[in-house]
Amino acid sequence: MLTSSSPLSFLGLLVSLILLLFMPGLFSDYSGALISILFALVLIASLYLVATEKKHLLIGLALAAPALLTHWSFGVLPEITRLTINASFQILFLSYVCTQILTYLIRARKIESNVIYAALCLYLMLGLVWTFAYFLIEINSPGAIALKIEFDLLTDNPRELMIEIMYFSFVTITTLGYGDITPISPLAQSLVIIQAFVGQIFVAIVIARLVGLQIAAQIHDDQE
Residue by residue, DSSP assigns 134-170 as HHHHHHHSTTSEE-SS---TTTS-HHHHHHHHHHHHH
What pairing do the DSSP bridges indicate for beta strands 145-146 and 182-183?
antiparallel
The H or E element spanning position 198 is helix 186-201
**In terms of Cα–Cα distance, which of 94, 91, 70 is closest to 13?**
94
How far apart, in whole angstroms, are the C-alpha atoms of residue 83 and residue 149?
Answer: 19
Give the pLDDT score at 198.
Answer: 94
Predicted TM-score of the model (pTM): 0.89
Q: Residue 84: what residue type?
A: T
Dmax over CA atoms of the chain, in Å, equals 67
How far apart, in whole angstroms, are the C-alpha atoms of residue 38 and residue 91?
Answer: 16
Running DSSP on this structure, what letter comes out for residue 204?
A: I
Domain ranges, ordered by start, for the chain: 10-223
Handedness of CA 48, 53, 56, 62 (dihedral sign): positive
Stated length of the chain:
224
Whether the Cβ atoms of residue 108 and residue 164 lie closer than 8 Å to each other? no
Whether the Cβ atoms of residue 81 and residue 187 lie closer than 8 Å to each other? no
Per-residue pLDDT of the chain (224 residues; tens, 9 = 90+): 565 545 457 888 999 999 999 888 787 777 777 888 888 889 888 888 887 778 888 999 999 999 988 887 777 888 899 999 999 999 999 999 999 998 888 888 888 888 889 999 999 999 999 999 999 999 999 999 999 888 877 777 888 889 899 999 999 999 887 888 999 999 999 999 999 999 999 988 888 888 887 777 677 666 66
Residue 183 in 3-state DSSP? strand
